[in-house]
Every structure is written in structure tokens, then in C-alpha cells.
Amino acid sequence: MSFDVLQDQIKAKKNPTAAILGAGPDDIPPHILNKHTAQYGETLEAAAEAALEFHLGLIDALADIVPAVELSCARFEALGWRGMRALETVIAYAKEKGLFVIADGKRADLGGSAAAYSAAWLGETRVGETACPVFNADCVTLSGYMGSDAVNPFLKDCAQRNKCAFVLARTPNPSSREFQDLVSGDRQVYTAMGDLIQRWGRDTAGKYGYQILGAVVGNAQPNLLKQLRRRLDKTFFLVTGCVTQEGLSADVRWAFDELGRGAMISDSRSILRAWKKAGGDGTDYQDAARDAAEQVRDELRRLITIF
């Protein structure tokens, strides 16, 4: 199963970090953006070409450090069809470099629309007699709050194509408590969603014991990760909201099992924007990104040991 592929790569690099990629024009170093606006003007085409160059450079810089990249689909969508063309190229390049690709689109729909989203991100579209892969990510993020109808088409493609998906369970944004923390019967809503994720993925566990549906969990409350790790023993976690300007939250260690497995840390864009924090002109953005990625990796290694 695909989380086996991800866990193998995490073990090889001793680094359970996904580098978030998805730059808007303000995130791109001026020397790259200016080169493309000089050619295309201040247009979406210039922004998309600049984003493409920037992201390919980041992948070159990070491929030997991180096992995975998490691509923010919204940032590319904001650049129109040219941005989506850039996204397709970035996904293909990341896979060529051996990185595990998570398409962070938080997709949610029903029936044929859900199946079409799954075909786009994980599967293929038939044109006559030919099956054409589309974006071909390894994994996608989903919202499961419409129930199994929204998840089942993705679950089917995951099982058939050695892919996987992360379903939103407990997100770290402040207003998440307005709904996710409500009590439903004897559980809070986010706990009920976690239980559903594990139930939906039943009988799909791979060699590491994790099923093909994982859960997005935010490091938002004390003991939350510890509680969910005990409860969802077959569910791989994508942990968000744990990397801040102050560094990595020590609570993230509770997302992992006793062998240091079963979770991936989302870097909260610190790697993408590292060149800004360095205070330079961005010409050394690749070195800045490497330094930031190594810092997160090294902090994690002090908290967990991966076997």
C-alpha cells in the first residue's frame, strides 16, 4: 500500500517531514519573478512560469533531505490554467526525483464529481481506448464531512493504484472548534471522524500496519495527538500546525508509534519561505530551503527515533 512506500522513504532519510510547496508571486525571489515579468509582463503567465522555476529549484535542493512534498493546489489554481500546467510539471518532476507527492486540495464532492476528482488526482481519464494519467499524485487530501459517499471513489482508486489519501479529522485553525469539537453522543466530532476514517479503510493495512486512508490532525490541543494515536492505531497521520517561528512543538512526538512510524509532519511553509527569513535577496533560496529543512529534520530526530 502507498503508506508503505512513504514509510520506506521516511526510514531511508530518517526524516518524516513533508515540505509544503505552493508559492504565490510574493513568495518567489525577485530575481526569478522579474525575469519572467520582463518577458511576459505582469501577467498570470509570468507568475506561473516564475512559480515553475522556483518550485523545480526547491525540489532540486530538497530531494536528498525530505521524503515527500505537499503541494498546495490552491496556490497553483490562483494562477489559472497556466498555474495548473505548472503544477502538473512540478508533480512529474518531484516523482522523477523520487519524492512522494501529496496533492493538498482537500477535495470533497459526491457521485460522479467525486469520481472525477479521484481520476484527476490519483487515477486516469479514458480518451477512446487510451487510459491517460492526469496529475498522478501519490496521495491527496480530502474532506470527509459529507460521509462515505465523498470518500469511496478515492478509496477505490487508492486500493487499485497503490495510492493513499489523508482525510481531515482535526484541523489546527482557531475556528475548527466551532464544529469539530462539538460533542456527538459520547465523542467529539473530530473523534467520530477519526473513527470513521479507520473504519472506511479497514482491511487495507500494509506491512507497517497502516491503512490506505490517513488522517489530517492539527497539533492544536495538549494531549490531542496522544489521544488520537492510541485510538487510531491503524491510521497514518499528517500533522499540521506544529512548525512555528519558535520551532517544532515537542508534542509532535505523540503522533508516532513506539517505533517512530505512522506520521508525517507538515512544515507550515517554513521551508518554502526560508529565503525571506534569511534576510537576503533570494538568490540563495535553495541554500536557505536546505538549511530550514535540515533544521526541522534535526529537531524531529531529537524527539523521535525511527526504526
Name the residues annotated as catalytic. 106
Tell me if 125 sits within 8 A of 119, measured CB to CB.
yes
Residue-by-residue DSSP string for 45-112: HHHHHHHHHHHHHHHHHHTTT-SEEEEEHHHHHTTHHHHHHHHHHHHHHHHHTT-EEEEEEEE---HH
SS3 15: coil
SS3 281: coil
Tell me if 177 sits within 8 A of 229, measured CB to CB.
no
Tell me if 243 sits within 8 A of 220, measured CB to CB.
no
CA atoms within 13 A on the CB side of 23: 32
| CA separation for the pair 122, 53 (Å, rounded) | 24
Cell of 163: 495510492
Tell me if 156 sits within 8 A of 123, measured CB to CB.
no
Which amino acid is residue 289, in one-letter code? Answer: A
